[in-house]
Chain A
Amino acid sequence: MIPASRPRLIVLCLVVSAMMAGLVTRVWFIQVKNQSAYASQASSERIREVIEPPVRGPVLDDLGTPIVNSYPALVISVSLPTLWKMSDGGASVLRRLAGLLHIKQRMMLREVRLCTVGVSQPCWPGSPYQPIPVAERVPARIALQVLEDQRLYPGVTAAIQPVTHYREPISTNLAQVIGYLQPITASELKSQGLPVTGFAAVDLVGQAGLEQEYDAELRGIPGVERLAVNAAGQVTGTLSSVKPRAGDYLVTSINAALQQDTLSALASAVQKSQFAGSPTSNGGAAVVMTTTGRVLAMASYPTYNPAIWTGGISLREFGRLFDAGGGEPALNRATQGQYPPGSTWKVTSLAAAVAAGYSLYGTYTCPGGVTIGGHTYQNDGNPSLGPMSFYTALVVSCDTVFYQLAYDIYLRDHVRQDAVTSPHAPVQEMQRMELGWGFGHTTNVDLPEENPGNVPTREWLYYFWKDNAHTGQNWCKFGRANGSYVQQIEWDDCRYGNIWTPGQSVIASIGQGYVSVTPLQLARAYAALANGGTLYSPRIGEALISPSGKVVRRITPPVAGHLPVAKATLAYIRHALAGVVTSGTAAGTFGGFPLGRVCVAGKTGTAQVQGNQSTSVFASFAPCDHPKFVVVVMVPNSGFGAQVAGPAVRQIWDGLFGLEGHKAALPGGVLPGLPYLNRAGQVVPPPGFGPPARRAKHAKPGAHR
């Protein structure tokens, strides 16, 4: 080596050492210092999570027969965006698919077009980016053919998806109570921290009724399969697999036969009234267990088939569901309908009077009319009946007795007759009693849709006037001192609407004016009357049973309160209500009814509504001595309580007990116990109730995937 090279070789040695040291340092930095960051990146890209949707739990009636049922089925879907990319818009693919599925080509083409303006059903009402299901319950052979020959069927997928089945006629009878399922919204996904399954039709969430109320339990838990994938996205193995857990079974206390009876009684009442010329279009009914607060039937007319929600509802059907002119079938009248209770309300006024010190056994006069505050209030349709007991006042439904009591109690409240109300005005005695019966606030039934009804108090009147004097109904703008009848009222309301007059108390005492209740509120109040004072928060759900058969939760109707009424008073009222049926306002309605076999008690209600026909109400319980059931029917805008609602209630009692040629829904009034799941996962009806319930054949729990 020449001398000049030596130092340069040493420099080379140093450079090489530095290079190696640099490599080690950098590798240390990546592998030791930042290891966790790289490790998480690595796992995120080599693992794919596949979410497997759970099968939604069924909703069962009291005997364990499914009302709504989900089961996994092979569904063939078409992705529009993929078809659009093809030169012929995917027509050839659809034709081929139609041939494979034995569907008419024209039908197939219609099903996958979008429901836009001017396109009528059949069409796809959902998002164009959501796979459109074209065939459910497809044989595996055909599904495989589609999957394996993607060259022939681009954009066509076959996947196991839960399919919802609505059993008829019970689901139509119970449509508003069941509710419906709709694709989950992005905000719901986020707020509930749910994984997206990727199956658009599967990410459904209960949006109304029991489906919404018990959504968390019914939905189940999605399965997660963590797959190892290679760089090309091919699956190389399964790292972990958690099977989906099917949703719980919701057993309800709804009796399918009784529900059928209730709806058809309600429907025929509305239809008969319509036939007689009334403008009525809807009504609500409820059958509640007095001793437990369970709901046995809950009907709303008009109703609809909830299956129309499946796979996306069309705009027209959606419009029809919420069209007030068509009776708004989506509304649950039993919990959302707010109607004046009419004379069925008198039981609370009587209780208030007794609480205020009026003797239960006293004598009260029933004149043809009373003049209070310069205004004469007539006894509805009745002449002067002279002195009478409370018993008779209820049996013949004398209004003037209650007018006078209301005025007396109003005076006891020491209200100055010209006092303007305030938000802090104390609740008056009469209204305190009404609130004590559970009116004026929701029953907290296990349904998301419920209205509170209204018990007019002075506080309420303050806000009512404030909201409508210059805004809202704008009485002061439209009112005329000498205009039409309505304009005169508005003129008055503008000037004096914020004053609680004796007339307000008088009208409220017979369940008219601003008083409104829902059929369910009335039913539970009468249940409390019947059971000795316990006010329940009614429940439709009875129990949640896991797919393995374990009772996860028994649902017991909570006690919401106790009527502020002495037992003796309640017993007296019950006795009077039995008289209503035998010799009072409902005697005609129940003429020929086998009261000897089942003693029925009840109260008619005919609430006059300004500008409309009366609201027909009948609230009833049976048997008289040890009441077990309450039936309430309310039909607005139809006529007398004894003429419209009364016969409907009679028909429901017939169906419940099996009277007058009807088949008993609950023979002997005996309620079934809880159905259970046998080892095979089939639902077995409670002992003593019929043959094993027929289950939809796909509905075996555990059959998911």
Chain B
Amino acid sequence: MSWVSGHPRSRTAPAWMVVRWIGARLAGRDSALRQADWLLLSAVLALCALGTLVIWSATAPTLAQQGSNPHAFLLKQVLNIALGLVLMLVVSSLDARQLKLYAPVVYGLSCLGLLAVLTPLGSIVNGARSWISIGAGFQIEPSEFAKLSVIVISAMLLANLKHGQTRPAAKAIGLTIGVSALPILLVVAEPDLGVTIVLVVLVIGLIALSGVRLRWLAGMLAAAALAIVAVAKLHLLRAYQLNRLSSFINPSADPRGTGYSAAQAKIAIGSGGIHGTGLFHSQLVAGSFVPEQHTDFIFAVVGNELGFVGACIVIGLLGLLLFCTLRIAIKAEDQFGTLVAAGIAIWFAVQAFVNIGMTIGIMPVTGLPLPFVSYGGSAMFADMIAVGLLQSVRRRRCVFAS
């Protein structure tokens, strides 16, 4: 029976063996599915479903007017979700300890991706060179995966405590900053303000959570503040970014220009009222008054068509998602798992807050998607992989608990 216990991934293994292995990983006692956080999954699936409906409603009229298939974006997003779920399953079936080993690989790949974006391979969208065209109309946004890689690599470095250590060493922190600086600088070079903000907050947040001394933390924050001042003083921001920021401060200054999106989004949300116009029933959405209404500004469509009720449901589901994520972080057995889960929580929280905030006029306009809701493949895949990581962290705890 030696061939039965042989390495399942062996090339000689019959196909049914592979199927049985996968089945065991998925449905076995300590399998991904059995140990899954169903509350978290439900929140994710609900957000995906809501998002898909809203994307459909937001894109169908324009597509129909162009004479294209009005369901094109709906179908693509369903495909994105399906692929994302597969990725999630695969990642969640990995052992969290293995993740540590993969971290440098993930980090390296994403840095390569970010580098590739800056080469002629990258294409410019909305002033930022953040996409790689991979043919057949498909594009990848490596910065989405950079968030994941920064979380994983930082968590790995910060959780690497020598025996007897209660806090990460200064060396680990320095290494973390140094290692994460590369993707951050690459994202700045794109330039993508939103992702930069997320990455910087992530690194600071993870270092803070890692147990570093508070005075170090304070020093770091002061340095970051200095850096921001330097960026402003040395004119390191691109014109369109400055425009976005200044129009955030004074949105009515240029209602047809940079402030247009923000103003339109606010009008769309505000006019939705308590119950909204209902999906597919909004003239405002049909007329595409809010730019990027199926991607970055999808919350404007939520607010307009589903009203305050819909907006609260979306924010509530995001809150549930964050609650589950933080619960996993708190209950994680090892520091790596805690930091990975907390990092994911910071990521989702910052991204959701900035994204929704810019549609309601409390955040500047940046190109960040709303997790699980906005249209987009790369973002969906990255988000799903993050959920997979969370499940993996949680399952590890479960294994130990049992």
**Residues in chain A within 8 A of chain B (CB atoms):** 1-6, 8-9, 12-13, 15-17, 19-20, 22-24, 26-28, 30-32, 34-35, 37-39, 41-43, 45-47, 228-232, 234, 236, 239
Q: Are B286 and A230 in contact (CB under 8 A)?
A: yes
Chain A nearest CB from B50 CB (Å) reads 15
A20 contact set on B, CB distance < 8 A = 315, 318-319, 322
Contacts of A39 in B (CB 8 A): 270-271, 273
**Given A31-B303, A42-B271, CB of A12 within 8 Å of CB of B211:** no
Query: Which B residues are in CB contact (< 8 Å) with A1?
Result: 330, 332-335, 338
Determine the distance from Cα of A346 to Cα of B335 in the docked complex, in whole angstroms. Answer: 124
| Interface contact B362-A26, CB-CB below 8 Å | yes
| In-complex Cβ contact of B345 among A12, A30, A45 (8 A) | A12
**CB of B278 within 8 Å of the partner chain:** no
State whether A42 touches B268 (Cβ < 8 A): yes
Contact B345 A38 (CB under 8 A): no
Residue of A nearest to B161 (CB): A2
Given contacts A16-B345, A30-B270, A31-B270, is CB(A46)–CB(B326) below 8 Å? Answer: no
Query: From B291, which residue of chain A is reached at the shortest CB distance?
Result: A231
Per a CB cutoff under 8 Å, which of A5, A26, A45, A234 touches B338?
Answer: A5
Cα distance A8–B343 in the bound complex, in angstroms: 13
Which chain B positions have C-beta within 8 A of A42? 267-268, 270-271, 284
B284 engages A46 (CB within 8 Å): yes
Scoring B264, B284, B361 by chain A CB atoms within 10 A of each residue's CB, the highest score goes to B284
Nearest-neighbor residue (CB-CB) of B320 within chain A: A20
Residues 189-227 of B at the A interface (beta carbon under 8 Å): 205, 208-212
Flag if B349 contacts A30 (CB, 8 Å).
no
C-alpha spacing A17/B323, complex, angstroms: 9
A32 B274 Cβ-Cβ under 8 A: yes
Of A6, A9, A41, the contact of B271 (CB 8 Å cutoff): A41
Query: In the complex, what residue of chain A is closest to B264 when comparing beta carbons?
Result: A231
- The winner among B346, B352, B353, B361 for most chain A CB atoms within 10 A is B353
On whether the beta carbons of B360 and A41 are closer than 8 Å, the reply is no
Contacts of A41 in B (CB 8 A): 267, 270-271
Main secondary structure of the interface of B (DSSP, over half): helix
* Residues of chain A within 8 A of B360, CB atoms compared: 23, 26-27, 30
Contact between B167 and A35 (Cβ–Cβ < 8 Å)?
Answer: no
Residue B183 is within 8 A (CB to CB) of chain A in the complex: no
**Docked pose: A43 CA to B291 CA in angstroms:** 17
Please name all residues of chain A whose beta carbon is closer than 8 Å to the beta carbon of B289 when the two chains form the complex.
45-46, 230-231
A229 proximity list for chain B (CB < 8 A) = 287
Q: How many Å lie between the Cα of A12 and that of B352 in the bound state?
A: 15
Question: Are B287 and A46 closer than 8 Å at their CB atoms?
Answer: yes
Q: Which residues of B contact A (CB under 8 A)?
A: 61-62, 65, 161, 166-167, 205, 208-212, 264, 266-274, 283-284, 286-291, 303, 307-308, 311-312, 315, 318-319, 322, 326, 329-330, 332-335, 338-339, 342, 345-346, 349, 352-353, 356-357, 360-362
The reply to whether A8 and B319 contact each other, CB–CB distance below 8 Å, is no
Evaluate whether A31 and B319 lie within 8 angstroms (CB atoms) in the complex, with A12-B209, A19-B353, A38-B267 already known. Answer: no
Q: Which residues of the partner chain B approach A31 to less than 8 Å between Cβ atoms? A: 269-270, 272-274, 303, 307-308, 311
Which A residues touch B209, using CB under 8 A?
A: 5, 8-9, 12
Known: A5-B338, A9-B338, A41-B271. A46 touches B283 (CB 8 A): yes
Least CB distance, A577 to chain B, in whole angstroms: 76
Asked whether, in the complex, the Cβ of B308 is within 8 Å of the Cβ of A12, the reply is no
Q: Interface centre among B270, B289, B339, B352, by most A CB within 10 Å?
A: B270
- Kindly list chain B residues whose C-beta atoms are within 8 Å of the C-beta of A231: 264, 287-291
Q: When chains A and B are docked, how far (Å) is the Cα of A536 from the Cα of B205? A: 96
Q: CB-CB < 8 A to B319: which residues of A?
A: 16-17, 20
Q: List chain B residues, Cβ under 8 A from A30.
A: 266, 269-270, 303, 360-361
Verify B65–A4 contact, CB threshold 8 A: no
Of all chain B residues, the one with the shortest Cβ separation from A3 is B166
Contact of A12 among B205, B212, B318, B353 (CB under 8 A): B205
B166–A4 contact, CB under 8 A? Answer: yes
A230–B288 CB distance below 8 A:
yes
- Asked, given contacts A236-B286, A236-B287, whether A23 binds B326 with beta carbons under 8 Å apart, the answer is no
- B326 in contact with A27 (CB, 8 Å): no
Nearest CB of chain B from residue A201's CB, rounded to whole Å: 31
Determine the distance from Cα of A446 to Cα of B156 in the docked complex, in whole angstroms.
97
Inter-subunit contact B326/A24 (CB<8 Å)? no
Give the Cβ gap from B257 to chain A, nearest Cβ, in Å.
14
What are the 8 closest A-B residue pairs judged by CB atoms, nearest first? A38-B270, A4-B211, A230-B287, A42-B271, A39-B271, A31-B308, A1-B338, A20-B319
CB pair A12 B287 closer than 8 Å: no
Q: How far is the CA of A228 from the CA of B318 in the complex (A)?
A: 34
Min CB–CB distance B53 → chain A (angstroms): 19
Q: How far is the CA of A27 from the CA of B319 in the complex (A)?
A: 15
Q: How far is the CA of A39 from the CA of B303 in the complex (A)?
A: 12
Per a CB cutoff under 8 Å, which of B271, B290, B312, B346 touches A35? Answer: B271
Instruction: Specify which chain A residues have a CB less than 8 angstroms from the CB of B270 in the assembled complex.
Output: 30-31, 34-35, 37-39, 41-42
**Which A residues touch B267, using CB under 8 A?**
38, 41-42, 45
CA separation between A232 and B260, bound complex, in Å?
13
Q: In angstroms, how far is the closest chain A Cβ from the Cβ of B9? A: 33
Residues of B within 8 A of A35 (CB): 270-274
B307 — which chain A residues lie within 8 A by C-beta?
31
CB neighbours of B311 from chain A (8 A)? 24, 27, 31
Interchain nearest-CB distance for A432 vs B (Å): 71
Q: List 13 A-B contacts (CB under 8 A).
A: A8-B208, A8-B211, A20-B315, A20-B322, A31-B270, A31-B272, A31-B274, A42-B267, A47-B283, A230-B287, A231-B287, A231-B290, A234-B65
* 18 more A-B residue pairs beyond the given contacts A20-B319, A38-B271, with a C-beta to C-beta distance below 8 A: A1-B334, A2-B210, A5-B209, A19-B349, A30-B269, A30-B361, A31-B269, A31-B274, A31-B307, A32-B273, A37-B270, A38-B269, A42-B268, A42-B270, A46-B289, A230-B286, A230-B287, A230-B288
